[in-house]
Each structure stands twice: as structure tokens, then as C-alpha cells.
Amino acid sequence: MLKLRLCCLALTLGALALSASGALGQTNPYQEDARALPGIIAETYAYPERLAGGEYRLPSRLQAEAEAVRDEDGLIRLAERALMVLADHHAITGASFSNSWAVFPSYGDLWIERRGAGYRIEQVRAGSPAEQAGVQAGDELIAIAGTPVQAAVDAFWTDLGVAPGEGDAGYAARVLAAGRRDRPRQLTVKAGGRSPRTVELPNLYALKHRDMPPLSVTEDARGAAIIRFHDSLGRDDTIPAFDAAMAALTPGKPIILDLTDTASGGNTTVARAVMGWFVTQPTAYQIHNLPVEERETGIARQWIEQVLPRAGKHHAGPVLVRVSRWTGSMGEGLAIGLHAIGARVQGSRMAGLLGAIYDHALPKSGVIIKLPTERLYAVDGTPREAFQPEPVPMDTAR
């Protein structure tokens, strides 16, 4: 009897040990996705030539963070940081946190570039807190939250494990100036020979969204109708509002389509609805290229997208398009599309957001990352991000 009890005890302990061993051997889906993340980025990102050595690598610091991921929040935080290594404003996560960095340019108001040893503010978003505080294009950004801007930029990249001098300085400065979503910003700027001054600015996430219509219609001194989109190229009510505005115009009236407030992009349905007013037959407006398919199959894939005329909706008057650094993503696609069908495009360089973003669900957790996966071109083959508008004539510059 004693032997039988000992035998049963041994079997029970063995079963428990086997169960524990199996439990310990189970993998954490969030950590699995953390380890898979660099490969997914490398496989699907459409612009590897922008990266050192032409391929994506997770810095050793972030590799260590990947091994420490245990839950969804940890995975999302890692994905945010891993995507920032790309220095691509169009690469973001599908979920984020209250203290995440602001998505730029959607929630930014200063376009900053490194110029020599300093950082120059090239453009200020119209109606933004920065503009209201008197910050102007041409000012120099001196410090962020009291830290000299170059030191802040270096710290930004060092925190991601990127070696000093290797990160994109302009990208970092724009993100830092846009700030974290849950707090105000303190920026020190200098205009010309004046003394530096510090401005306190709310974060754009903290501002209550105004109940703006999708667009507004005014008229300039020369009688042209100005249709200004209020960052609305992704709104369902934009198409009927645009159709109503166009239907109310005198036939042949000159039109100015103002895309200088379309930083958040939108969708092709709205863009094609707008362009459809200005064509009488199927017309090419954009070229798409999908590098991931060539990587997977060895066979390249590229196609031309057309805009089609809309029944009962046509305007034959001249069209001018205004753009700025706050013309982003689908705003840029609409601009190059209108240019392809005969409109003039005037203004500064646009946001230069790369390609078309696809949602990629990480295989174990379903966490979404958004990456430029298609390359986009104007119909003449110019990369969308390299498109050069005409300069604004001095007599019409605002």
C-alpha cells in the first residue's frame, strides 16, 4: 500500500512538473510580435533606400526593449519607437497613448528644417497657436523646454538607440516642437537680430475641435471663387458640400482650390469626386507601385489610376491649386492629380509624406502599424514627395 501511494505521488508530481514545464514553454504573443516587428517593417516598408545600408534594423537598445515586452501596452510603445527610427512622418501606430508624441503634420504647427548649425522655421500653420503667438516663417528655433534645440534633437535619437549624428535632425525637431499630446509646449524662438523670446503654446491635441464645415467658399479681388478645404478630405460630408459649391458657380468661372489646410490627408473617394468635376473622359492622375509584391514574387507590380467624369457634374473654367507644407498625404495626391488633368499648382513644397499607408496587423496580437507600403508618382513619373509647385507670384502672395 505504501509503495502504491508513493507511486501515485510520484505520478502526480510528475504530471505537475510536466504541466509547469508546458506553461513555462508557452510563448507570450506580445513578445512574439515584438520580435517579429523588425522583419514586418523591413518586408513591407516601400522606401528602404532611405535607411542606412538600404535595410531596416532595430537598434540594440530597442532590441532589448522588445525582449522585455509582456503586454499590449508594451508592444504599442515599442512599435511607436521602432517606427520613429524610420524618420518618416507617414509611419505611425494604429493605437497610442495620451503622452505619445504628436502625429505630424496633422497635429503640428511649425515646419522646421536644419539650416547650417541652426534650425529655421520655414512655415507656420495658419490660425495655429504658434501663429497667434507671433511666431513667423524665418524665425530660428533656439530651444525646446529650455534645452538647446540641437541637444534636444541629439537626446531624441539617443533615446531610441540611434547614434549621434545619424538621425534625421529636421524630423526630430518637428516632432519635438509639436510635443507630447498631454502637455503644453515651451519654445524659444529668435527673429532676425532680436533677442530670443520664449512662448508657451498649447498642444494641438488639447484644443477643442471647432465645428467647422468641410469647406468654405469666398471670392478673390479678381473674381475667382476660392474653395478652401478645412482638413476635410476624409470626411463623408465633403463630397456633397463640394458638389453644392460647384453647382452654385457661374459656368466657366475661375476656381482656386485651396489645399493649404489638408495636413491630415483623407481618402481617394473624396479626391476623385473633386477631380471628376474637371474631366470629360477617363484621365490618368496617379501612378502606384507595390514593392512588397516584387519582394515576395520577384515580379514587379505598377499601375495607373484614373479619374472618371461624373454624370451631370462638369466645370470648364480655369483651375488653380494652392498648396503648402500643410498639404499632406491625400492633399498631395489631389494636388498632383489636378496638375495631371491640367490645373496649375502654386505654393511651397508640400508635406512630402511618403507613399500610401497600409494597415498591417501584427500576427499574434492584432496590434496595427501603419506603414507607407505603396510608392506614389505623378503621371510623368515624378515621385509624389518630390513634386515642385510653381512659386506664388508676388502680387498674389498672401
Q: Residue 280's CB: how many other CB atoms inside 10 A?
A: 8
Measured distance CA(66)–CA(362) in Å, rounded? 14
What's the chain's Rg over C-alpha atoms? 26
**Percentage of residues of the chain with pLDDT beyond 90:** 86
In the prediction, which pLDDT does 325 show? 97
Pick from 26, 27, 35: nearest CA to 78? 35
* pLDDT band per the 50, 70, 90 thresholds, residue 251: very high
Predicted confidence at residue 25, as pLDDT, reads: 52
Q: What is the pLDDT of residues 118-175, one digit of tens each?
A: 999 999 999 999 999 999 999 999 999 999 999 999 999 999 999 877 889 999 999 9
User: What percentage of the chain exceeds 70 in pLDDT?
Assistant: 91
What is the DSSP pairing of strand 92-93 with strand 368-377?
antiparallel
Cis peptide before 105 (omega within 30 of 0): yes
In the prediction, which pLDDT does 211 show? 76
- Lowest average pLDDT, out of 22-31, 250-259, 353-362, goes to 22-31
Residue 2 has pLDDT above 50, yes or no: no
Q: Where are the alpha helices (DSSP H) in 144-201?
A: 149-159, 169-178
Q: How far is CA 62 from the centre of its chain?
A: 22
Q: For residue 190, what is the enclosing H or E element? A: strand 185-190
Confidence grade of residue 208 (pLDDT, cut at 50, 70, 90): low
**Is the pLDDT assigned to residue 7 strictly greater than 60?**
no
Higher pLDDT: 165 or 272? It is 272
Report which secondary-structure segment, H or E, holds 132. helix 129-132
Q: CA of 164: how far to CAs of 52, 159, 365, in Å?
A: 14, 10, 33
Question: Would you state the cell numbers that stand for residue 386, as one nine-digit string?
Answer: 518630390
The arithmetic mean of pLDDT across residues 361-372, rounded, is 97
Residue 176 has pLDDT above 70, yes or no: yes
